[in-house]
Structure 1
């Protein structure tokens, strides 16, 4: 068994904090066990935990990865682990992810992913790995250095700095039905309306995810550094300015528009058509439906938020996001919902460990949302 989970509730400076985490180990269980024991403890000790939670999450993920590698320095093991965590601070939900475990929410019955799996064949992850001097290759699936089937992880010393433990801490505005395009922010960002077509410009092998904790042999290609993104009405840009995500309400403008790569802000625009032409060279990915956007995070809690589901890939390999929400909503008790999801994954033939946390939110106008985990 290489899966671990952790649930913690604490009161810090009068603020109630709830933390949920799934840690799926590979190459051994030590990295996942270490994260269960240390990650949230380290996070609560971070001086900016309450004042700048995103910075605290990013710093804690990467420092915990370094600490784990130091603790294993004199061993012959090279364990690694994913980490998908959800942290509720006041009325905000922060989701940080490294690896291919996943977190989703249900809002008014709709499944909304709050993390994107770190796979080496993601164009942005592949480029990050190659820029760090690593490579990916096909060995049954795409793998970093021919070894690891994820691109980010804790541990995995031999894959550093290619497999990183830098989490993606992303932002989602679920009330705006968006089209979105993810592109690199070091170039000039321009978009142009096209009435009939979408044109996308051209833009090792053991690990099948591109970021993970540990994985010593694949560092620096597999890193534990998170991707942190900030949201606005019209644009999202990553904290390190490596990528830019434009969230556009359905349609944009009738002429070329410059996007500020530092803020992601667009000038005013007028809706015209439902089809866009994107004419720059660094497009990474495209999404058309607001509830399918891979972005998420810093999620404002409102009365539409019903469920939070965190699980290892043993669930997601055979249970789509929409199925997970539909199944979980049939159970009033979160523990029963988590059990139903794991049993469903097993009956559908999942060949991996299956670990799942379900949190149900009970809304009270006077007291706000009250999470009930299971």
Structure 2
């Protein structure tokens, strides 16, 4: 069983490509921007921290945390957590392509209809994932995990520091802390029992085995995901989407994979993040370290966005 590993920026592991991959997905970092808000210039900072869990596989989580200044003068903060399963191929693909597909969605302009643009982009991206993996199999290149891999996604687009567009499939989660310290979940956990009727209407089934979580077709512990071609007739990649105006009443947003949420409630998470007094990097580190202390064995990815 793999030991718990943490890798800070600048540290390296031996092993060629493996080292490069590890550096890309297990790290700590921060960033900041002066976003344009209706009340003037507002400071937005982010921090992230990722840790490989004590599971018999390599790190399967991926994340995005960056600001982009677009050609039209708008600034967007792009934040995401992708929790891969049965390999990291799908999560890596999402990290590299999903935001570009959203912002460049050809049928529905993101700026005029962001909710529909995101839905179309999620579906379009999933079709590309499935087509890519089918081509690998047809050419004899598919190898075990690649054939059945998938990923959750929770994506947050912060527009000019004043509006959040949040979408997700699976059980990675985004939670907002308001200026009174209260937590509010912005994403939707897509659990098999919650969508049992939809799964069964597509010909699937839910198993409930003592000591394990409910699973779709005795395999997948969520009812929506990217990839998972062998289960695609029974699960969905349709995202839940919400738009949230963030003014002076919002302090921070926590995005994390279920390695954190299995051991921490929404309120506990934002309380821990709030103890770092606006230092997003320290907040992300604190959250991951606390999840590990509480016994989480899964990969953990955490991004904290502070709205100052």
Q: 1 or 2 for the larger relative contact order (CA 8 Å, sep ≥6)?
A: 2
In structure 2, what is the equivalent of residue 159 of structure 1?
Answer: 231
TM score, norm. by length of structure 2: 0.74
TM score, norm. by length of structure 1: 0.61
Residue 347 in structure 1 maps to residue 293 in structure 2:
yes
What is the CA-CA distance between 1:161 and the residue it aligns to? 2.3
SS at match of 2:225: strand
User: Take 1:78 and 1:35, find their aligned partners in 2: how far apart are those partners?
Assistant: 16
In structure 1, what is the equivalent of residue 263 of structure 2?
Answer: 318
User: Take 1:60 and 1:8, find their aligned partners in 2: how far apart are those partners?
Assistant: 19
In structure 2, what is the equivalent of residue 120 of structure 1?
Answer: 192
SS at match of 1:150: coil
In structure 2, what is the equivalent of residue 25 of structure 1?
Answer: 84
Contact 1:151 1:163 in 2 (8 A): yes
In structure 1, what is the equivalent of residue 16 of structure 2?
Answer: none
- Counting only pairs closer than 5 Å after superposition, residues 1-374 of structure 1 correspond to structure 2 as 1-12=59-70, 13-47=72-106, 48-73=109-134, 74=137, 75-76=142-143, 77-90=147-160, 91-108=162-179, 109-122=181-194, 125-139=195-209, 140-169=212-241, 297-331=242-276, 332-362=278-308
Contact 1:28 1:80 in 2 (8 A): yes
What is the CA-CA distance between 1:301 and the residue it aligns to? 1.3
Q: What residue ranges of structure 1 are gaps of 5+ in the alignment?
A: 170-296, 363-374
Contact 1:86 1:96 in 2 (8 A): yes
Contact 1:98 1:165 in 2 (8 A): yes
User: Take 2:123 and 2:222, find their aligned partners in 1: how far apart are those partners?
Assistant: 17
Contact 1:50 1:89 in 2 (8 A): no
User: Take 1:8 and 1:323, find their aligned partners in 2: how far apart are those partners?
Assistant: 26
Cα deviation 1:146-172 (Å, max 9, x = unaligned): 110111000000001222111111xxx
Cα deviation 1:308-335 (Å, max 9, x = unaligned): 1000000000011111111101113100
SS at match of 2:184: strand
User: Take 2:298 and 2:235, find their aligned partners in 1: how far apart are those partners?
Assistant: 21
What is the CA-CA distance between 1:60 and the residue it aligns to? 0.8
SS at match of 1:6: strand
What is the CA-CA distance between 1:20 and the residue it aligns to? 0.5
SS at match of 1:302: coil
What is the CA-CA distance between 1:138 and the residue it aligns to? 1.4
Q: What residue ranges of structure 2 are gaps of 5+ in the alignment?
A: 1-58
SS at match of 1:152: coil
What is the CA-CA distance between 1:343 and the residue it aligns to? 0.0
Give the total of aligned pairs. Answer: 233
Question: Highest Rg: 1 or 2?
Answer: 1
In structure 2, what is the equivalent of residue 273 of structure 1?
Answer: none
What is the CA-CA distance between 1:89 and the residue it aligns to? 2.2
User: Take 2:64 and 2:263, find their aligned partners in 1: how far apart are those partners?
Assistant: 23
SS at match of 2:122: helix
